[in-house]
Amino acid sequence: MESPVTEMVDAAPGDSPLHGAGGQVRVGILGAGQLGRMLGLAAVRMGLQVRFLDREQSGATDGIGETVLGDWDDPEVLGRFVEGCDVITTENEWAPAGAVESTLRALGEARCRMFPGSASLDLIADKGVQKQTLAAKNIPTAPFELVASQREAVDALARLGGAAMLKRRSGSYDGYGNFAAHTPEEAGAGWTALHGEDGLLLEAWVPFERELSVLVVRSSAGEIKTYPVTATEQRDHRCHATEVPAGCIPPVEERAMSIAREVVEGFDLVGVTAVELFLTADGALLVNEVAPRPHNTGHYTIEGCVTSQFENHLRAVLGLPLGATALRTPCAVMVNVLGHREGATDVRAIAHATSCPDAAIHLYGKRQVRPKRKMGHVTCLGTDLKTVRRLAEDAAERLKL
């Protein structure tokens, strides 16, 4: 029986790194956190080799492929990382895509490409530039301003209606780098806490009814597919849970998917992209943020969809035919597992979670626990959304790492 990779080679477009290639196929992944872990696990299942690059090892990718540790702005380190790779992708938008592409050119590795490319990532990694790009492409988003001083931040708050979300423009994730301001004093405090040399992004406060997320996967061969719209619940600026179906009326879901595809094509993104949106009381949809990579709101796809977001991301960057994105069951719920203390991980906690037989448990293998650090997630499937949500919440509550 042929391996999955061999079968996919036969069906792959002509520009795929797999087409006509012999031997093993190696995927380079910038980053070695939980997204890198789940990409790596999907790659191994597909018969691919994996190489990670990161500045330090969290433990998330231990035992999965090869890891290069070092300064990822160092040309020598990048040279070791890219050597022998067939394609390179990333688990976060702040990875040095431009330096990787320069290294590939310097080494004459024309056959190896980086997806998404630096031109696309540069428009997204800076949240201020991301907002400007969305506005320039007439993609709906909340009013915003870029400010360069505390005084400007206070003045912008007034122009934005007296309430805003202050955001660090680069390097913020999982709620780190956000500050809600409803008074001039809070705007000043937010500036002090978050500002960098590039200032801050202020977004007008949106009194939304629902937060939605749409995953779109676009291949290097141009094929594009969309996952079901998910409803997300944030706690303390972090994703707590996602539910599918989202429970929106069909016209809203269709519009959300249309906007998400417009974003992906407008930014010329390859791979999986998550487009997070606000749904307001009057039915408007506003793009909140764009993540050009597999995303927390899509973890349910591992068990819940015919093809997970991680496998489809790999298919996309390799130029392979994309897998089906349909749900396997009527309902799916994912709940994140966060750290509650400082110290080493206690994996014995899994014994408590396994008393919930209907939950799929994912622990990320991180060696150290920190309060609010993402340590894993659980997913439950079923036919009744309320029942499935209760099962997932119960399993996540039992996981005290």
CB 44 within 8 A of CB 64: yes
The amino acid present at 259, given as its one-letter code, is I
Q: How far is CA 154 from the centre of its chain?
A: 31
Q: Give CA–CA dist 246/226, Å, rounded.
A: 14
Mean pLDDT value of segment 318-345: 93
pTM over 0.85: yes
Q: Which pLDDT tens digit goes with each residue over 203-251? A: 999 999 999 999 999 999 999 999 999 999 999 878 999 999 999 999 9
Nearest alpha-carbon partner for 344 in 55, 63, 67, 58: 58
- CA nearest neighbour of 277 among 260, 294, 293: 260
Q: What is the pLDDT of residues 54-105, one digit of tens each?
A: 998 889 999 999 999 999 889 999 999 999 999 999 999 988 999 999 999 9
User: Mean of the pLDDT values across residues 35-45?
Assistant: 97
Look up tokens 């009381």; give the residue: 281
pLDDT of residue 146: 98
Category of 357 on φ-ψ map: left (φ > 0), alpha (ψ -120 to 50) or beta: alpha
Q: Is it the case that residue 358 has pLDDT exceeding 60?
A: yes
Contact call for residues 230 and 276 (beta carbons, < 8 A)? no
Cα separation, 266 vs 97, in Å, equals 19
For the chain, which domains are there?
4-114 (3.40.50.20), 143-204 (3.30.1490.20), 208-398 (3.30.470.20)
* CA proximity to 327, closest of 259, 281, 268, 388: 388
Query: At how many degrees (to 10) do helices 34-45 and 309-317 cross?
Result: 70
Which token pair is 132?
A: 């400007």
Give me the pLDDT at residue 214, please: 98
Nearest to 82 by CA among 107, 47, 57: 107
- What residue spans of 267-364 are helical by DSSP H? 301-304, 309-317, 350-353
Considering only residues 386 and 345, tell me which one the structure prediction assigns the higher pLDDT: 386
